[in-house]
Amino acid sequence: MTGHVTKPLGESGTEHWDIIIKPSGNVSGRLTAAWKYRELVWMFFKRDFTTFYKQTVLGPVWYLIQPTLTAITYYVVFGKIANLSTDGISPLVFYMSGTIIWNYFSACLTNNAETFSKNSSLFGKVYFPRLVVPLAVAMSSLVAFVIQLMLLLLITFALWLSQDGMVISLRFVLATPLILAYVATLGVGAGLAVSALTVRYRDLVYAVGFMAQLWMYATPVVYSFSQVPERYQWIYHLNPMTTSVQLFRWALFNSSPLPLSVCLANVAVTLIVLIGGLMLFARAEATAMDTV
């Protein structure tokens, strides 16, 4: 929805200001409206960041503990017991790199699943583009990724110093922002679609976490894409997270690159998810306050 200000002259010649709110009519109009409210996005980001750390014991330390314990668990289960290949990359950083990029996507998806219900009191009182909230969620989730990335780089550098065969590629400096933009686009798009559906189907919220877990195992997070049999690789053409995980490892560790066909297919699916999510979100936005 968009708003514009008019100032018609009354009979007495005085100015009367009115704000007329109406649907923007297209996806680009909603993105433009969100950009005009970019300062509000920043305010919501600070609110979410402050709320998360308020009255916490561990604070940002949890962002370091979680991927470390997860990577160690994956190393024991998939590296030692299942004996899955990591394409020559040290197992700890292999699993951690997949974990932190997936965590960012999962946060963008699951934290936006209840956009309307969590913000119903605010949405019912004041107008602003509702897309502002999902964008702020993507920004606040980025903080966790940056903290975890610093940990990953520190461990990678330590392994490099110990001559563990690590190869550190500087291309990640340019590639990582593009990968993050891609993941945020996919996560926000999927989150918009889910949030629109949860307006009518509340129990879908409980299924989001489970579905995200299944999606993770369909993504080369705990295994390499090179281990996927050729007859199943068509599935990864439809899984847009394949590109982000594999390219992140390629950018950081110079691992095997993905086939171009997989990358192009994943980008196409991501654009479809984004456009579909924006359209569903726009439809839900019109009646959400009457339903929630």
Of 64, 144, 51, the C-alpha closest to 104 is 144
If DSSP codes are grouped into helix, strand and coil, which group holds residue 15?
strand
Q: What is the pLDDT of residues 177-225, one digit of tens each?
A: 999 999 999 999 999 999 888 888 777 888 888 899 999 999 999 999 9
For 266, residues 6+ apart whose C-beta sits below 8 A from its C-beta are 237, 239, 240, 241, 242, 243
Of 105, 135, 178, the C-alpha closest to 31 is 135
Which of the 8 DSSP states describes residue 256? P
Q: What count of other Cβ atoms lies within 10 Å of the Cβ of residue 103?
A: 20
Judging by beta carbons within 10 Å of its beta carbon (0-12, 13-18, 19+), is residue 271 exposed, middle or buried? middle
CA distance 190 to 106: 10
Q: What is the pLDDT of residues 213-230, one digit of tens each?
A: 999 999 999 999 988 888
pLDDT of residue 288: 63
Of 91, 244, 74, 90, the C-alpha closest to 167 is 90
As a dihedral over the C-alpha atoms of residue 210, residue 211, residue 212, residue 213, rounded to 10 degrees, the angle is 50
Q: For 54-90, where are the alpha helices, taking DSSP H only?
A: 61-74
Sign of dihedral through CA atoms 198, 204, 208, 214? negative
Is the predicted pLDDT of residue 56 greater than 50, yes or no?
A: yes
What is the pTM for the complete model shown?
0.84
What value does the mean pLDDT take over residues 157-161?
83
CA distance 91 to 75: 6
Do residues 245 and 256 make contact, with C-beta atoms less than 8 angstroms apart? Answer: no
CA distance 155 to 93: 7
Is the predicted pLDDT of residue 2 greater than 50, yes or no?
A: no
Residue 26: what are its φ and ψ, rounded to 5°?
-155, 165
Of 10-19, 58-67, 97-106, 226-235, where does mean pLDDT reach its minimum? 10-19
